[in-house]
Amino acid sequence: MEKLAKSTLAELKTTVQSGQYMLFFTADWCPDCRFIKPAMPEIEAEFPNYTFLLVDRDENIDLAQELDIFGIPSFVAFADGEETGRFVNKDRKTKAEVEKFIKGLPVSAA
């Protein structure tokens, strides 16, 4: 999974302007993030149409605030620059819950 460098909202919108992206907001100190991290390679493999980007919440605190990310781990999907869905809350997330979220997203024409 590629790590998103420290970015502004404008820079993020440029990054995700073409294609399908899944942002994974996380932090090293977060126990619920450490819980889902081992499942992420399998989740990525199951959804190859998405480019997964790891977003360090602490490094990108301003971006997280602009996107209303107030709990981690959280997931935000983009297709061709538009947000298509979000799984954002303060709860621990299981592999099955993340997969269900991604499967429920609108299918891109791309």
Which of the residues are catalytic? 30, 33
Tokens of 69: 């990310």
Q: 2 pairs with which residues across the strands? A: 53
3-state secondary structure 7-29: CCHHHHHHHCCCCEEEEEEECCC
- Rounded-to-integer distance, Cα 63 and Cα 43, Å: 24
Tokens of 71: 């709990």
Q: 24 pairs with which residues across the strands? A: 54, 75
Q: Reduced to 3 states, what is the DSSP secondary structure of residue 65?
A: helix
